[in-house]
Amino acid sequence: MSERFRAILVDKSDRGEKGQAFRFAEMTEPELMEGDVTIAVEHSSVNYKDGLAITGKAPIIRRFPLIPGIDLAGVVISSTHDGFTAGDRVILNGWGVGESHHGGFAQRARVKGDWLVKMPETLDSSRAMAIGTAGYTAMLAVTALEDNGVLPASGDVLVTGAAGGVGSIAIALLAGLGYRVVASTGRLTEEPYLRSLGASHVVDRSEFAGPVKPLAKARFAGAIDSVGSATLANVLSQINYGGAVAACGLAQGMDLPTSVAPFILRAVTLAGIDSVMCPTDRRERAWSRLARDLDFKKLSVITSQIPLDDVPLVAEEIVAGKVRGRVVVDL
């Protein structure tokens, strides 16, 4: 008889086509989806997308019933994949896990080995999930700025949504690399926290909420934006000549009410950051850089840890913008 394990399952409710509900379930390995690697999940994390999936605030989940959780880290139990053997420590971010394939809010996972990255030696599963998709996305954004010539000597770099998971780790990474970071947040009470991560200056997000001008006063060499919509449009209008913005989120909305002016008059680059289908070589580069460049003392300040039972409550809070930094789930 297969060993049973705990999981969160999201299913359609009786509230109609768009309604869905979650439950805690006891499952067995035969109930997992297809894959060539089976993992004992030790830790996961709660991301904004997970909050949307569990609350049903956006159509993140594409098949039902499904175990949510776009992150997981743990130990390989069994594998028929050439790249992994039992005992390997692994990380998974994205690839539709937690959206169309059973995800990380369970004590077991079966996935494709091609989706996995071997855990750097300086990490364990708890620390890897403190970084999680948010930190991995932040590192992709930092490397995008570097690749587009935005260096510490270039000038100030703005981070929007600064108190969130991506923003918090982006600040810590940028500051550690020598950048002068300006943090934008709607929670100015978090200024001491943001400065502790390395922000040199903290501004109210309202500075980027007004009517969008084709071009405003140039203020920043670059930016990492997880907000989108009018905020991103206003940020683009304030980037220095030849600067770049790495866009990785849509907390405010998917629209972008901008013009071509920043691109053709100031040669600004808008770099899109996708963490879900990102190729393996770029993932490995990001995780290698995170293991090397991220200050783990700052990571511990960013991070809180919860049991699986608390995930639904945190899901509500993260969608409401009440979560600071990263939340690790201990499986």
pLDDT digits (tens, 9 = 90+) for 81-110: 999 999 999 999 999 999 999 999 999 999
Going from N- to C-terminal start, the domains of the chain cover 4-119+302-330, 133-272
Q: Does residue 54 carry a pLDDT above 70?
A: yes
Predicted confidence band at 28 (pLDDT cuts at 50, 70, 90)? very high
- pLDDT value at position 14? 52
Taking only the tens place, the pLDDT of each residue in 171-209 is 999 999 999 999 999 999 999 999 999 999 999 999 999
Q: CB neighbours of 30 closer than 8 A, spacing ≥ 6? A: 2
Domain over 4-119+302-330 is classified CATH 3.100.10.10: no
Same fold, 4-119+302-330 and 133-272: no
CATH superfamily of 133-272: NAD(P)-binding Rossmann-like Domain (3.40.50.720)
pLDDT-derived band at 3, boundaries 50, 70, 90? confident
What does the H/E/C string look like for the chain?
A: CCCEEEEEEEEECCCCCCCEEEEEEEEEHHHCCCCCEEEEEEEEEECHHHHHHHHCCCCCCCCCCECCCCEEEEEEEEECCCCCCCCCEEEEECCCECCCECCCCECEEEECHHHEEECCCCCCHHHHHHHHHHHHHHHHHHHHHHHCCCCHHHCCEEECCCCCHHHHHHHHHHHHCCCCEEEEECCHHHHHHHHHHCEEEEEEHHHHCCCCCCCCCCCEEEEEECCEHHHHHHHHCCEEEEEEEEECCCCCECCCCCCCHHHHHCCCEEEECCCCCCCHHHHHHHHHHHHHHCCHHHHHHHEEEEEHHHHHHHHHHHHCCCCCCEEEEEC
Q: Which two tokens stand for residue 76?
A: 């390989």
Identify the band that residue 163 occupies on the pLDDT scale cut at 50, 70 and 90: very high
pLDDT mean over 229-256: 96
Name the pLDDT band for 59 (thresholds 50, 70, 90): confident
pLDDT at 20: 73
**pLDDT score for 260:** 98
Backbone angles phi and psi of 188, in degrees to 5: -65, -15
256 pLDDT higher than 80: yes
What does the pLDDT read at residue 19?
A: 62
Q: Rounded mean pLDDT of the chain?
A: 95
